[in-house]
A and B are shown apart, each in its own frame.
Chain A
Amino acid sequence: MGSMKLKRAVGALATAVLGGWLSVASAVGDMPGGPKFNGLNLQDPATQIAADQHWIHWFLIWICAAIFIAVFGVMFYSIWRHRKSKGHQSASFHESTAVEIAWTIVPFIIVVAMAIPATRMVVEQKDTSNADLTIKATGYQWKWGYDYLKGPGEGISFLSTLSTPREQIEGRAEKSVTYLMEVDNPVVVPVNQKVRVVLTANDVIHSWMVPAFGVKQDAIPGFVRDTWFRAEKIGVFRGQCAELCGKDHAFMPIVVDVRSQEDYAKWVDEQKKAMLAKLDDPNKVWEQAELQARGEKVYQANCVACHQANGKGVPPAFPALDGSKMVLGPQDAQIALVLDGKQGTAMASYKQLSDVELAAVLTYTRTAWGNKADDGLVQPAEVKAARK
């Protein structure tokens, strides 16, 4: 009876300690195109390169396991047999040139055996020539920007931001199966086509990683690097930023949507039409309320991570906009700041936003919170003029 009581007590304790996370974690399963639930190995490959990585990983694991068994077999046998407590007398040998040469040469041969398939793989991974589609990925604190440079879809350009709601991160809502690995605008690519990704960054170093493709490449500000993949499966594949890039490093995922050739062509058409439709007439004179409403949306998408929803920022790295001299000062200076960014700080150039978007967000910052600039209204035409 005593043991039953003990078992029950231990069970209750375990539930109390582990219950909190078991209940949330086991409710979700594998993430489609992302990590498996409690996964033990590399993610399922969707490219030849990732499949090769699986192969070489197993190849290395087996070699290591064989060495492990050989070396520790000997060691634990010795620990078991050659004990003083069993009356074992110590031998007196302490060197053997032949043995020592042998166990220098054998590991060397093993290392060479490992290097041969690895060499072939390095050459393949680095071969970015003859791509069907070239996409530029730009790392920002903390989102990715994509520009379709060459191939079908040329000219398409968008930003890709984490779409997991704040409530889930802060524990006020149930976390979804794609928690932290979902974005508003995924990169769309055609299946079985060689996609070259050209990478750079705007502020600090980021790293573009998609485990299912076997791809990870740093995005370095001021420099261009490239990598490639040829997805062999249709579906959505997910990755995250892999180089520490500041506070929201964990919150700038990468989502690649691989579609059939026809679906990809359809997507390109839709994007082109949407881009035309989205073009606002920059010469239209806007009402203040209209711009403010639009500006708040632009602010939420682009500015809020640093300057915060209440405009107070996170000084000293991310200054407050509420009460800021720059925001309440002359319009020209503020327009120039958002167009050019500020060297040496996290303030990036936002010239990729449209004139209307920029005018809207400027109007918003000049009139939101406690700010009441005398010339609060910034017209898109003024931004357009300043671009020259």
Chain B
Amino acid sequence: MSAVLDQHGGHHGDHAHDHAHDHPTGWRRWLFATNHKDIGTLYLWFSFAMFFVGGINALLLRTELFQPGLQVMQPEFFNQLTTMHGLIMVFGAIMPAFVGFANWQIPMMIGAGDMAFARMNNLSFWLLPPAALLLVVSYFVPGGATAAGWTLYAPLSIQMGPGMDLAIFAVHILGASSIMGSINIITTILNMRAPGMSLMKMPMFAWTWLITAYLLIAVMPVLAGAITMLLTDRHFGTAFFNAAAGGDPVMYQHIFWFFGHPEVYIMILPAFGIVSEIIPAFARKRLFGYSSMVYATASIAILSFIVWAHHMFTTGMPVTGQLFFMYATMLIAVPTGVKIFNWVATMWRGSMTFETPMLFAIGFIFVFTMGGFTGVILAVAPLDIQLHDTYYVVAHFHYVLVAGSLFALFAGAYFWLPKWTGHMYDEKLGKWHFWASLITFNITFFPMHFLGLAGMPRRYADYPMQFADFNAFITIGAFGFGLSQLIFVWAVVKCIKGGEKAADKPWEGAEGLEWTLPSPVPWHTFETPPVVK
């Protein structure tokens, strides 16, 4: 607070006191929040809470899978857990967390005073809690939550009880929120950059979010269309996905994955952005190949629209279809490879230190790349026939989503916490968090490759005896990973409550406009726009 008053004092003299009455306090501060930092904080706490809700789902289903046989739950409930784990983690945890980062960081990084549409920003956040409530409440309606998998494939989703309708409404609301958030981010980036900051001088994080926001606007309506068709098939006598009346169940999959594959990149591109900020800061060396980073991000985004059917190789596509989607998917390895090479080249001949953000960023590169390798292997259609819908796929997407997106989120949180709170986080706790997460993550997800290769299908409540040892091992790892996240809670709470005072630029090698601001950032980010030369 003293930093806030100092700055105001400096600029406005006696008006500093009056100014404090301009914005509401107490619960009104949050409910009527229009400041990008408050809304960013709301997003981050919300996604953090959902991360734990989704995590509890995961630990419950891992408990059932600890041993072969049915011990603690029936398969109906198991299927609800797998479905809700996916929906909550994708739409409740990862996506809002990145929007939280965008809210906090984009105005600060491009030298803007706030987000472009402050009130729409408020609405796009406050749509999330009701949606989360619908999802959680759906466990308690007759028949329980939807158990059709997070992909909600028809016709299984048509069979579900009212929990399915609640999930459909929840996803509609979450989608509307995402679209509003994207409009806000695009407008802010395109119109509110500081004088002199051309597009090709923008921080990578702003670039990756700009591209992500366009992806969101392009595909969220597609998802909304797919689930609306489900809803009318369920209740209003349409037959989009019912072959007996001229529909086609596979059409649902095409529409869903036309959303679903860009969605994968929606969850990873901002992570690329965060890592591209952190690696140069701790290598004390400029990001290697800035413009090729931008082009690689854009190519990944464009390619993401023409690869969706690689999720559907086993539906029985014609040869030409399989070949086209296989080639297009394999091509994505090229721009993704460029990014990884650029990061390594940034580190090369730098002057590196290894604070927690850097550890998570390097951890990200290391483990995400393994997810990239399995991605290329899965793209090879004739082999995907073996691996599709087995634990190999589960391993693959957790390597890119947990070790990818989530690790990047952790890296970004440790990197910017000093700026947000005005305090340094506890480095020892951060390092414990990193090593515990990295090790338990691999204990949990690495053996899934073996299970998948050996033929264990995913979404199974029970499995043959031959898979028992790996499953027990995985469950132990999963609980370890879950518990490791409590260290993060501890580190964040401790950092908010106090700690060593953070300098305006706590990281020696960090560059960017956010570090020219005081820590913590004053209520108004930039009173006068900074000039970028």
Contact = CB atoms under 8 A, between A and B. Distances in A.
Interface of A: 17-18, 20-22, 24-26, 28, 30-31, 34-43, 49-50, 52-53, 56-57, 60-61, 64, 67-68, 71-72, 74-75, 78-79, 82-85, 88-96, 99-100, 103-104, 107-108, 111, 114-115, 118-119, 121-126, 168-171, 175, 177-181, 199, 203-205, 207, 209, 211, 214-218, 220-223, 225-227, 239-251, 314-317, 343-346
A188 to B, nearest CB: 22
A72 B242 CA distance: 50
A91 B381 contact: no
25 contacts: A24-B68, A25-B468, A36-B454, A36-B466, A38-B470, A53-B382, A60-B376, A60-B377, A71-B341, A79-B352, A82-B347, A94-B290, A104-B292, A107-B337, A108-B331, A115-B327, A124-B382, A126-B319, A126-B322, A209-B455, A216-B386, A316-B142, A317-B143, A344-B242, A346-B159
Nearest to A200: B243
B380 A39 contact: no
A167 to B, nearest CB: 10
B261 interface: no
A305 to B, nearest CB: 11
Contacts of B337: 103, 107
B158 interface: yes
Given A78-B347, A100-B289, A250 B75 contact: yes
Given A68-B373, A205-B155, A220-B250, A250 B67 contact: no
A239 B349 CA distance: 52
3 smallest A-B Cβ distances: which pairs? A222-B243, A225-B316, A121-B382
B226 to A, nearest CB: 15
Contact of B382 (A52, A64, A68, A314): A52
Contacts of B250: 220, 223
Interface stretch (B33-41, B42-50, B278-286, B399-407): B278-286
Contacts of B509: 90
Given A75-B365, A100-B289, A225 B315 contact: yes
Contacts of B69: 168-171, 175
B347 A31 contact: no
Nearest to B79: A247
Contacts of B331: 108, 111
Given A78-B348, A108-B334, A114-B330, A216 B388 contact: yes
A345 B331 CA distance: 42
A24 B385 contact: no
B432 interface: no
Contacts of B454: 35-36, 39-43, 211
Interface stretch (B117-125, B145-153, B423-431): B145-153
Given A78-B349, A122-B323, A316-B142, A53 B385 contact: yes
Contacts of B490: none
Interface stretch (B103-111, B195-203, B212-220, B456-464): B456-464
B466 A28 contact: yes
B341 A239 contact: no
B69 to A, nearest CB: 5
B161 A35 contact: no
A43 B466 CA distance: 12
B382 A118 contact: yes
A77 B75 CA distance: 49
For chain B, which range describes its interface: under 10, 10 to 19, 20 to 34, or 35 or more residues?
35 or more
B390 A91 contact: no
B333 A107 contact: yes
B340 interface: yes
A252 to B, nearest CB: 11
Nearest to A38: B469
B351 interface: yes
Given A40-B450, A42-B386, A90-B349, A244 B79 contact: yes
B288 interface: yes
A217 B385 CA distance: 8
Given A31-B464, A84-B284, A217-B314, A21 B344 contact: no
Nearest to A180: B464
B288 to A, nearest CB: 5
Contact of B244 (A199, A211, A222): A222
A119 B68 contact: no
Contacts of B232: none
Contacts of A28: 465-466
A177 B334 CA distance: 45
Contacts of A88: 349-352
Interface of B: 66-71, 74-76, 79, 142-143, 147-149, 153, 155-156, 158-161, 242-244, 248-250, 283-292, 314-316, 318-319, 322-323, 326-327, 330-331, 333-334, 337-338, 340-342, 344-354, 362, 365-366, 369-370, 373, 376-377, 380-383, 385-386, 388-390, 450, 453-457, 459-470, 472, 476, 509
Contacts of A218: 314-316
Nearest to A120: B382
B467 A35 contact: yes
B383 A57 contact: yes
A71 B385 contact: no
Given A21-B66, A218-B314, A56 B457 contact: no
Given A21-B66, A34-B466, A248-B75, A83 B352 contact: yes
A345 B388 CA distance: 28
Nearest to A18: B472
Contacts of B323: 119, 122
Contacts of A346: 159
A242 B382 contact: no
Contacts of B457: 209, 240-242, 249-250
Nearest to B286: A94
A8 B220 CA distance: 57
A251 to B, nearest CB: 7
A72 to B, nearest CB: 7
Nearest to A26: B469
Given A36-B466, A246-B156, A249-B460, A75 B75 contact: no
Nearest to B465: A28
Given A177-B465, A243-B389, A316-B142, A90 B455 contact: no
Contacts of B344: 71, 74-75, 78
Contact of A90 (B153, B284, B291, B464): B284
B440 to A, nearest CB: 16
A343 to B, nearest CB: 7
A169 B67 CA distance: 11
A370 to B, nearest CB: 23
Nearest to B151: A244
A50 B453 CA distance: 12
A228 to B, nearest CB: 12
B243 A95 contact: no
B463 A42 contact: no
